[in-house]
Amino acid sequence: MAHRDEKQAQLDAVRVEPCDAPLTTDQGIQVDDTDNSLKVGERGPSLLQDFHLREKITHFDHERIPERVVHARGAGAYGTFQVYDDSLAEFTRAEFLTDPSIETPVFVRFSTVAGSRGSADTVRDVRGFATKFYTRQGNFDLVGNNMPVFFIQDGIKFPDFVHAVKPEPHNEIPQAQSAHDTLWDFVQLQPETMHMMLWAMSDRALPRSFATMQGFGVHTFRLLDARGRSTFVKFHWKPKAGVHSTIWDETQKIAGKDPDFQRRDLWERIETGAHPEWELCLQLVPEEDEHKFDFDLLDATKLIPEEEVPARPVGRLVLNRNPDNYFAETEQVAFCTANIVPGLDFTNDPLMQARLFSYLDTQLFRLGGPNFPQLPVNKPIAPVRNHHRDSFHQHEIHTAKTSYHPNTLSGGCPVMAGDTAFAHYPAPTQGEIVRKRAESFGDHYSQATLFWNSMSDVEKEHIVAAFRFELGKVETVQIREGVVVHLNHVDHDLAVQVAQGIGVTPPERAVTQNHGRTSPALSQVNLTGDEPVKARKVAVLVGEGSDSGAIGVVGDALADAGAVSELLAAHSGTVQSADGGRITVDKAINTMASVLYDAILIPGGEAAVRALGKDGLAVFYVTEAYKHGKPIAAVGPGAADLLDKAGVPRDAAGVIVAETPDASTAQAFVDAIARHRFWAEREVDHIPG
């Protein structure tokens, strides 16, 4: 024990002692800046000669085997994308964005970022939203997230950020969590993270399902028309089911009850025909308006408020087919941000520039060589003709005598393309070669304030609670204090509330005046969707003597709205209805949990309700669902008695009570489910559970 204490003291000493030894490359070359990639001018493109960037990213990309370093846990599906009309031809020559007669096949992979393949689906994290378009002009990979901004501004910082958020190296703890010292140490030293941290502490980091979250391309891209004219563009995916989340208590319980909750939901939606749908929307900015904003379009920690540049609906994405084999397809799919088609192009965003190198390097390592595009899930539908030969996993049998260009022995084939070839935008570039951040990237707080101001009261409560939980797990007081200092630049009241919950002295006064601006498009309260009930799951609590009439009337209305009802009883098989018939039970109640459902239906029947009232698990279902803000319907004789037993007020918002089942009652329940939650309206503190 003495030896162990001595060893721990040594480790603690190493952690706190200052280090004045300079940072070097793997070749021992000293480095004076590891925060900025080498560029032509402050806002120019990154340079391939930046050996420090390439070494740092390459080493990071090759750290983990065999799973992805980030986005290891995911779920995927096939589908189609179709543009609504040809109006985008004014801006781009990308065929899949301009020809409404073309149905473009896609594969979409959703994922968490920080955790390993064995982690849970519902952890607090960013979600990847990567779409591979198999266009007739080649593959286009839109590799985005469910949040429109990112933690860092320059890709050279990506290894630092991920190292910080991953499990701490001395004990490989905690898994798939950001609530630990190293992540928040990084945050308090990098104020550019503040905007993203507000998103990460919000309900956006706890999506209810993949089908109920937005997707974003994050970066500013270019559209190029037939004349080569450039328009800046931001990509948005907007779910038809609306944007909805779980809450923290629910999230943690789901991780234990069903760690596959979100991938199961995606699979079941597709299998049952409730195909998830999104609308592709574009924010378009003319080239001449690049500098009209109070932020830099090349800064990935910033978004364009939709009130300034509306998100224009242009097409529809539908996921309608599950993979046949998880490994062959979902695991082997290889997304590369550099995969782009004519009519699109990159910008000098320094985060994007590093990704253009990193993703290809990652896939080369992860999939064992350069022939990964030949795997079926990665293979383009466009014809492939080039002089690439051999290496690992070569599937093609090349019969041509030549593998070089130019040649005469193969008739000069393949030849250079003409007007149909990909062409980069000839952006003018000048400046000294520097390793420096542009001054226009210097505002780290105003958009974080915009996000905070745009939240509803209940969303703000959740953000404060998230900061308190995460920072409450941080053992180093100075780190907690450092984060509060930054939060005080975002909003003084936010900083005070967080400080009060984590044991540090609240700031006495604001250091930055809140600008008061809001963007309603940022609040989930305003994003209910066009199909808010589709594929929602309703737990129907039944027992011996349940009212089959209530089950039928309300169940039919739910089915018509696209919801999925599951009848739960104390045991599997069947139970007898009040009229003497048999009711088929879908699942035993002890195999499920209320957190796995979006709403609760209690059908009447005096005997059944009495029995349910004696079943502690059934009572807890109702109590917990109420505390989580979910709709509850008690319909039929005696049904409301179970509400009383569970301590649920009969007149509470989102609680539907009716002695006799009828169409209006059923519709009221459907409408309540469309609301998703009743967080703000319910008084839950006095209710146990």
User: What does 658-687 look like in DSSP terms, one character per residue?
Assistant: ESS--HHHHHHHHHHHHH---TTT---TTS
Q: Is residue 76 within 8 Å of residue 109, measured between CB atoms?
A: yes
pLDDT band, very low/low/confident/very high, at 685 (cuts 50, 70, 90): low
Instruction: Tell whether 671 is covered by a domain.
Output: yes
Determine the average pLDDT of the residues in 675-682.
Answer: 88
pLDDT more than 70, % of the chain: 96
Query: So what's the pLDDT on residue 416?
Result: 81
pLDDT band, very low/low/confident/very high, at 385 (cuts 50, 70, 90): confident
Instruction: Tell whether 318 is covered by a domain.
Output: yes
Determine the average pLDDT of the residues in 380-407.
Answer: 87
Last residue of a domain, one of 326, 358, 374: 374
CATH code (residue 323): 2.40.180.10
Instruction: Tell whether 193 is covered by a domain.
Output: no
Determine the average pLDDT of the residues in 64-71.
Answer: 77
CA distance 468 to 445: 20
pLDDT tens digits, 8-54: 554 454 444 456 777 777 777 777 888 899 899 999 999 888 878 88
What CA–CA distances, in Å, run from 32 to 26, 41, 42, 102, 353? 14, 18, 17, 51, 21
- 38 vs 276, more confident: 276
Last residue of a domain, one of 374, 405, 432: 374
Query: So what's the pLDDT on residue 11?
Result: 41
Instruction: Tell whether 483 is covered by a domain.
Output: no
Instruction: Tell whether 173 is covered by a domain.
Output: no
pLDDT band, very low/low/confident/very high, at 3 (cuts 50, 70, 90): very low
Q: Compute φ and ψ for 158, nearest 5 degrees.
A: -60, -45
At CA 272, angle to CA 271 and CA 274, rounded to 5? 105
Query: So what's the pLDDT on residue 5?
Result: 58
Query: So what's the pLDDT on residue 16?
Result: 47
First CA to last CA distance, the chain: 42
Instruction: Tell whether 119 is covered by a domain.
Output: yes
48-52, 181-185, 249-253, 548-552: segment of lowest average pLDDT? 48-52
Instruction: Tell whether 357 is covered by a domain.
Output: yes
* Contacts for 17 with CB less than 8 Å, ≥ 6 apart: none
Q: Helix H segments across 328-367?
A: 350-366
- 136 vs 682, more confident: 136
Instruction: Tell whether 71 is covered by a domain.
Output: yes
Q: Is residue 301 within 8 Å of residue 294, measured between CB atoms?
A: no
Q: Is residue 376 within 8 Å of residue 328, measured between CB atoms?
A: yes
HSE (side-chain half, CA atoms, 13 Å) at 551: 24
> Among all chains, which residue has been given the structure tokens 């018509």?
560
Domain that holds residue 571: 537-675
pLDDT tens digits, 216-262: 999 999 999 999 999 999 999 999 999 999 999 999 999 999 999 99
Determine the average pLDDT of the residues in 668-672.
Answer: 97
Last residue of a domain, one of 374, 392, 423: 374
Query: So what's the pLDDT on residue 15?
Result: 46
CATH code (residue 561): 3.40.50.880
pLDDT tens digits, 562-615: 999 999 999 999 999 999 999 999 999 999 999 999 999 999 999 999 999 999
pLDDT tens digits, 190-229: 999 999 999 999 999 999 999 999 999 999 999 999 999 9
Catalytic residues: 71, 145
Query: So what's the pLDDT on residue 4?
Result: 47
Count of structural domains, the chain: 2
What CA–CA distances, in Å, run from 96 to 101, 301, 341? 9, 29, 10
pTM: 0.91
User: Helix, strand or coil for residue 494?
Assistant: helix
pLDDT band, very low/low/confident/very high, at 419 (cuts 50, 70, 90): confident
- 6 vs 73, more confident: 73
